[in-house]
Amino acid sequence: MVVFEPFRKGVGMVVKRNTWQREAVRSALGTQMGFVSAQGLHAALATSGSHIGLATVYRALADLANEGEADSLQSPEGEALYRACSLAHHHHLICRSCGLTVEIEADEVEEWAHRTATQHGFSRPEHVVDVFGFCSACVPPQ
């Protein structure tokens, strides 16, 4: 039970080799319109004829996230989800029905998080800020 560890591991370490597998994952992630799980991406790759291994997909996604090429977050059910992203820090507005994801600016929240942490004597704050809802194309259930 390790609970309060930092979100992202330290940066820059060993060199990575270029393999078609890593490229396949990077590319497949790019075609996804929203967040996907490792399992989901592996299934998508399999469907499109790739014989890449599941463990490799997990490793590649973790690497992409470490290198800042992918965003990762936990679904409410605790599954890890990934999405290709720009390098800048940002947050997400995610449709609970179709998974459509909109990157949102949150300067306001960045500032608030930092200010609040400092006020309470906390240092090195990191925050989790994501908004889930139903996009305009998805009728809100009942």
Partner DNA sequence: CTGATTTTGAAAATCATTATCAATTAGGTA
Partner DNA sequence: TACCTAATTGATAATGATTTTCAAAATCAG
Pattern 24-43, DNA, x by CB under 7 A: -------------xxx----
- Cα separation, 74 vs 81, whole angstroms: 6
Instruction: Out of 6, 10, 49, 78, name the contact with DNA by CB under 7 A.
Output: 78
Q: Which does 14 bind (CB under 5 to 8 A by kind): DNA, a copy of itself, none?
A: DNA
- H or E stretch at 95: strand 91-95
Q: Which residue has the tokens 């679904």?
A: 75
Work out whether 126 is an interface residue with a copy of itself (CB under 8 A).
Answer: yes
For the chain, report the end-to-end CA distance as a whole number of angstroms. 39
- The residue range among 26-34, 54-62, 104-112, 134-142 that interacts with DNA, by the rule CB under 7 A, is 54-62
Give yes or no for residue 1 binding DNA (CB under 7 A).
yes
DSSP 15: P
d(CA 112, CA 95): 25
13 burial via Cβ count (<10 Å: 0-12, 13-18, 19+):
exposed
Least CB distance to DNA at residue 22 (A): 5
Map the footprint of a copy of itself across residues 72-91, applying CB under 8 A.
74-81
Q: How far is the CB of 1 from DNA (least distance, A)?
A: 4
Is residue 54 near a copy of itself by the rule CB under 8 A?
no
- 3-class DSSP assignment, residue 85: coil
The residue whose two tokens read 């449709």 is 95
Binding stretches for a copy of itself (CB under 8 A): 1-7, 35, 37, 39-40, 74-81, 93-99, 102, 104, 106, 108-109, 112-113, 116-117, 120-136, 140
